Structure 1
């Protein structure tokens, strides 16, 4: 025990000294310049009391209302800047992307769990640029139609599973998102809910989102990096178990990266590979020869696609279901539009999208109202900057407050209400561009999700097909009373609700036959 106390007090002492040095340096750099406003910190600890691990976007919204488009806080001297308006996000994260595109290198997730090569965590530089080139090469807008057949198969399979066991909707959504991504990225076809790659992928993503990123993703070792070097015997001491956990999580992440990638390589060698993100690039000699790091970059970029898409898919579909249960009039109007354009003898296709503006508006409003990643993943400022007279220190973590942008009353009157009609209004092109939630929900600048067109297309087909074939209602109990869904958010990064009750069934016998004919 004395060893533990000595280690603890030594760590706190180092933290105190580091904080004092930081503040002196910050004061010297700032001079007469002013930091952005924000909640008042306490000495040394900063704004620890103002932060919360779950639903941080709620107090961040209040700060935006109280302090304006930039808000500054710090934890033990580590600056946090919340960018709350679309204009400020564009000015800083887009137009000044050369200094706002870095990513923080947290010791736990990046070093101990070996996630530093995932696209979301790669520092801004040559590696991140190579990764983005690969993603744009395979997922640029002209390439998206190549994946339409895979999206169609995944969608009809999902509908078939859903009508067979609607109570298991979350498992079906997970399988839809996981199987589609494994097929698109690796050309791997999932054939069961307990498929080894699907299970491996779900476990790895679950560890990343719910374990490594728990409590906001900041561990003691992130504040005191020297703790990563503690000997193995010390891992049993209070607060020191992080290193033992990290070893297990690191293996999970590396197995997830290596397993599906080896499958693609073996499939190409045997001549049995399907069209996919990996096969497209591995069979392009120009791309292969463009970098000596090609295979390493591709392996980690492919893995990142799965990690990014699965939670976005689950979150979006969950909010879509909640909205349809609360607004049956929206569901009915969408079905009327689909019946008029598509009829009831087939499912919607991508060729129908331009003729289904209300269905498109429902997806846009689901993005806006649901906000899959309310605070984005933080960027890291690479050098001191000044914005509208406010000093932003080098090394600050920059959070795009997507929640506040999607609740901006100037862009979206009555923002708490789910209302697709807001996207049906006739407005000029500039207003339409400003109000498009896809400008926010996929991130900003040079770190915007390169797979956004793929995700948008796949979810449009899924949602339009659900609207065409299903009635979605609140469940009722044995006495016939409506049971209100209990909506709880526990994921610290994605705004994914915990499982809730939902009654889904085919809207007609014809709809059921249509689903079955695609999946007999």
Structure 2
């Protein structure tokens, strides 16, 4: 709870709210430094302490000699004494702690320190809670701690007060010491001060002080702050152990000091024994030289830098790293920037004059030195001359101080104990407006800090004094990105689950590069604020309130959707009220035009919407039964949502029955089956539209939604123009209707649901079926919408924040033919237990947790996670093509985020040949569907490939702009080009070898054929070594690696290793696939199209393949002409 409270109170967004208090405190501090330069060190401590106290207790510190400052100074001195290494004998001889109390004289002193701190903390906490009620607008961590504890029913004043004191103890001394070293660096490096003044004059001028919103535009000021934290790391020995390693001892995990491992482990080739501290080397070239230019190109904040994939790219390690990184990093960065930038805006930083000679006294870094105990501080006091660097700046400071600070420092001011920000202060003045700190990122994986490129060798120190075995890191040690989930976005993007959404939202995914480093969630993901960058899904706040009503602002009382439409009278019987004329001189409506309006309206309303439908050839009941039977035999969507064992054609609605018959007819061998299927689907489409118009309540019924879903799936692949267009329109309508019906919420137990203890097996089964059918229907609609991105290159209509469903139960239970066969599969498990939450399952992909004990092995669950990642990938592709990207910083890591998603998708790849031998057809079907989605995701993740490829295919390869972009795209990245060729070849191979007549198969084959044609053309144009080698057939084939792009190699085998090497490195290789002996040869681009055409022609159930085939033929004709 302590960690969660910290991260909730100290997120970047929360810290933006503290900026106005930091601005006022910095004005007060700089004014005092100018007028009382001798006491600047005390003033720095007052500033840091006042900011910390404002955040923690809602009160400021007005003077370094105040009672509060004196008391906290004593508490911190005691703490520093107690934590000084080697102070107490039992540290060297631990067994002394087992002596009787009278034989441990140090306990008396330690208990004195403890009691003093506890008494002080309780006094501050209780006072803050009382004041929070009087001043609810002030920041006050104590108020939030109390509320959290009351919510968790774990009220503990001692724990609460200690939690609040952590901000004062950890934040004030470190910030003050960092600022003290900043002044030392500036006073001894006048050339740095001069460059900073030039940047400030250029960007800010001398008419105002810098604000936090100016930070992105002041790179040299940022570099000074980073260099100072590198140059004099305040707590250099705490960047170790639990911060970087997975096993953290519970007793030490929150203290910011080295942590030790709780058990033996082997990690990335290292043997790490129990009771061992892992330290991170944070060394730099020319370490004693203060040189801000080393960070001049480092545009990220310290928070974003700590989340870097390669730890060697980090700026510094002053805040630690990993899970236990300093939670106050955002508050500290704002405090340091506010003071550093404003001191540089104000002062010259001259050396003090010798009182006898009147000449400047010598001041060197070596003379001052350093002192290390709990934290690093300057070794001795030193004086500095603080003079305003210009008369204009001096006047600015006095004016700002008088307007904003002076009147609030008076004792008779109503809120003298806490600053009141100006009324005109806006959030834009505090935030970076989305440029740098707009989104919160997850904690970096521990693997980030064991990169072989930056942190070798590591130093291992055993707590027992014995060194571990000398295990060297393996050559080529690389960071494992599989455990990362970089912040998208999205901020969700829909931002995950908000651990993810994601990326909450990618609508979260558009996280700027400056991802925030915060702790991982420690509570269940269903709890509010379980992660600092996660938020509850919107559906939570509508749960339990019935269907979601989009028109909730509109009164529906007294209305009847089916009543006759009567045009009411407008005004009276005459037009006398209009005798004053018109505002504008326009032609008037004539009576003939009015009559035409009436006639047109009457004719349109009386004319039938459709021509008469002939039902003379409607099939017999035997043929209807035949179609229903074929439906369940052959139509197997990834998520089954119609329960065959309990389906009764005599009791379901007509629209659902017609939907089933239409799809089932497609698999019939009877003559005219395809035309019949489309006709029945068109008939059903009309019936659904009429039902919705006549009685809108139908749209929320389960049968109606199920029929709509089947219509959408059928129309998508039917090859019928009207049905295809209707399926695209129906998708967004279906999502809206399902949301209104509450279909994306977890089903609630029925009021008359049988109790598991007393109910019969039959009643329990039927109750479970009803609930599971609801759940599966929601997931099937989600699947239809989520895949629209890669099938139609369109934005999904569904927001992942609307999902509150658990994952479906296993297929074996769903397909159990009777209640007793169902109960036999789960005799020990009540029907409502052991549900897997979607958000937990999604998070498990990136942060596996032994506490959750989740194992994603069910292919349905893997399919849902796959399409979710696919949906996020498309959202980031959309963001890259938006006008916003022309205005944001160039270092937004969208490409890295896409690569992270693709890497995670690749973890779900498997060899289909192996699955064929070990799985039944139902499981194999899902595996193949998942592989097709993953490979197609790689095409959509290959830059803007799918944005220009589809227009190019539609134009038969003759679209001028797309063709030009195609050539440029191929030259941009050879690795990307080869990977597109590989994933396209894999899709074609899957479509050829494992056809299951699913509705979407033709999409995959068509897109893959087009992408592989493009890649083949570009490989043929590329230089040797980038693509395939242009070698004579008579050459010795042993000189070249022979690769088959469409072969299904086991991912651990040598063949796949060779292929992977070529994909990443290129080189001499003879690459081919089925029907294309040599990719990149002069005929290969036509051979690829011919092979894609053969595959499409073999897809005979869903007629969309015929339409795709026509486009491929058109392209073959055009390309053959080009060849000649």
Q: Which residue of 2 aligns with 1:507?
A: 389
| Contact 2:46-2:62 within 8 A present in 1 as well | no
Do the aligned partners of residues 471 and 360 (structure 1) sit closer, same or farther apart at CA in structure 2, a change above 3 Å counting?
same
Distance of 2:298 and 2:344 partners within structure 1: 24
Distance in 2 (alpha carbons) for counterparts of 1:293 and 1:426: 44
Q: Tell me, what secondary structure is at the counterpart of 1:250?
A: helix
Distance (whole Å) between structure 1 residues aligned to residue 31 and residue 53 of structure 2: 19
Are 2:200 and 1:338 equivalent residues in the alignment?
A: yes
Do the aligned partners of residues 216 and 517 (structure 1) sit closer, same or farther apart at CA in structure 2, a change above 3 Å counting? farther
- The answer as to whether partners of 2:149 and 2:155 remain within 8 angstroms in 1 is no
- Identify the match of residue 497 of structure 1 among 378, 386, 403: 378
Residue 399 of structure 2 corresponds to 517
* Structure-2 change in CA distance of 1:247 and 1:174 (3 Å): same
CA distance 1:288–1:335, shift in 2 (3 Å): farther
Write the mapping of 1:86-485 to structure 2, written as runs, cut at 5 A.
Answer: 130-209=1-80, 211-216=81-86, 219-220=89-90, 223-224=93-94, 226-227=96-97, 230-232=100-102, 241-270=105-134, 274-282=138-146, 284=147, 288-293=150-155, 295-376=157-238, 377-387=257-267, 389-398=269-278, 400-401=279-280, 404-405=281-282, 407-409=283-285, 414-425=286-297, 434-438=312-316, 440-477=317-354, 478-479=356-357, 480-485=359-364
Preserved CA contact (<8 Å) 1:309 1:455:
yes
Is the contact made by 1:369 and 1:418 (CA closer than 8 Å) also made in structure 2? yes
Query: Residues 487, 514 of structure 1: CA spacing in aligned structure 2 closer, same or farther, 3 A cutoff?
Result: same
Q: Post-superposition shift, 1:342?
A: 1.2
Measure how far apart 1:247 and its partner are. 2.8
Per-residue CA distance 1:250-298 (angstroms, 9 max, x = gap): 222212321211111221344567222223444x5x6631351565543
Distance 1:422 1:431 in 2: 20
SS of 2:370 mapped into structure 1: coil
Q: Following TM superposition, by how much is the alpha carbon of 1:454 offset from its aligned partner in structure 2, in angstroms? A: 0.7
Larger Rg belongs to? 2
| 1:169-212 deviations in Å (ceiling 9; x for gaps) | 11111111111111111101222322222221121112112x11
Q: TM (normalized to structure 1)?
A: 0.66
Any idea what SS the aligned residue of 2:222 has?
Answer: helix
Q: 1:444-487: CA deviations, max 9, x gaps? A: 22221111111011111110000000111333323215322422
State the shift of 1:155 in Å.
0.5
How far is 1:371 from its partner? 0.9
Q: Which residue in 2 is equivalent to 1:39? A: none
Q: Which residue of 2 aligns with 1:81?
A: none
CA distance in 1, matches of 2:361, 2:329: 37
Alpha-carbon separation, structure 1, partners of 2:387 and 2:84 = 36
Query: How far is 1:373 from its partner?
Result: 0.8
C-alpha separation between the residues in 1 aligned to 2:137 and 2:161? 16
Tell me, in whole angstroms, the C-alpha distance in 1 between the residues paired with 2:342 and 2:9: 26
| Change in 2 beyond 3 A, CA 1:378/1:459 | same
Cα gap change, 1:225/1:444 in structure 2, threshold over 3 Å: closer, same or farther? farther
Deviations 1:109-160 (A, max 9, x none): xxxxxxxxxxxxxxxxxxxxx1110011111122111101111111111111
Secondary structure of 1:212 counterpart: helix
How far did 1:408 drift? 3.0
1:322/1:148 Cα in 2 relative to 1: closer, same or farther (>3 Å)? same
On the 8 A contact 1:324/1:473 being kept in 2, the answer is: no
Cα distance between partner residues in 1 of 2:383 and 2:206: 28
The whole-number CA distance in structure 1 between the counterparts of 2:44 and 2:232 is: 16
Residues 417-446 of structure 1 deviation map (CA, whole Å, 9 limit, x = unaligned): 1111112248999699743335x2111222
Supply the distance in 1 between the matched residues of 2:226 and 2:109 (Cα, whole angstroms). 40
Greater helix content: 1
Q: Would the aligned equivalents of 1:187 and 1:273 in 2 still touch at CA under 8 Å?
A: no
CA RMSD of aligned residues (A): 2.7
Taking a change above 3 Å as real, the CA distance of residues 137 and 483 of structure 1, as seen in their structure-2 partners, is: same
Question: Unmatched 5+ residue regions in structure 1?
Answer: 1-129, 235-239
1:334 CA displacement: 0.7
- CA 1:467–1:198: 2 relative to 1, 3 Å: same
SS in 2 for 1:490: strand
Contact 2:347 2:389 (8 Å CA) reproduced: yes
Alpha carbons of 1:298 and 1:248: their partners in 2 closer, same or farther (altered >3 Å)? closer
Q: Which shifted more, 380-389 or 178-187? A: 380-389
Whole-Å separation in 1 of the counterparts to 2:134 and 2:99: 44
Change (3 A) 1:393 1:458: same
Q: What is the deviation of 1:387?
A: 4.2
Name the CA distance, whole Å, in 1 between partners of 2:299 and 2:222.
Answer: 16
Measured at CA, do residues 177 and 340 of structure 1 come closer, stay the same or move farther in structure 2, by a change above 3 Å? same
SS in 1 for 2:178: helix
**Following TM superposition, by how much is the alpha carbon of 1:395 offset from its aligned partner in structure 2, in angstroms?**
1.8
Partners in 2 of 1:431 and 1:422 — Cα distance?
20
> Per-residue displacement from partner, 1:295-329 (whole Å, max 9, x unpaired)?
55432221111111122112211221121122111
Q: Structure 2: where are the runs of 5+ without partners? A: 239-256, 403-1124
Find the aligned partners of 1:164 and 1:292 in 2 and give their Cα distance. Answer: 49
CA distance in 2, matches of 1:397, 1:422: 30
1:79-124: CA deviation from partner (whole Å, max 9, x where unpaired):
xxxxxxxxxxxxxxxxxxxxxxxxxxxxxxxxxxxxxxxxxxxxxx
